[in-house]
Structure 1
């Protein structure tokens, strides 16, 4: 159900862009015309199933354009498995 809500959110708010090279993989959501306050980002990862694409470090950046993104949170992951909750508000909003 969470994945379905995420897909609906992407369809409503913007588009999903996946960039890949040998160093990093980035996911970018672009939104126009309004402000959205994110409190929680949730990732589902299984290190054993795909070691090459499972992140070891997650960097969350925000801004009103690619030219002025500021890092707001960085999380190191060690062989993660299952749901990873990244709170952006300082408190866990679950």
Structure 2
């Protein structure tokens, strides 16, 4: 059962990270930083980036953003799936 949760959390996190990457390129290269809602979707990655210096080159910084996205959404999905399975069990068992 735990392997199913890990696999599900992996695919959810990977999907959200891919969406964030697409939104990042639209926001950065097409709209010049004016995409509404981008900061909300990319918030976990932005928080992750704040731990590092601003003097990092573009591509390593982008990879850190995506890593932060993946880790945050993986952890959140895994925890929610674990909580869901705990709540499905009857009390006392």
Specify the TM-score bucket, using the shorter chain as the normaliser.
Answer: under 0.3
TM-score by length of 2: 0.23
TM-score by length of 1: 0.23
Higher relative contact order (CA 8 A, sep 6+): 2
Structure with the largest fraction of helix = 2
Bigger Cα Rg:
2
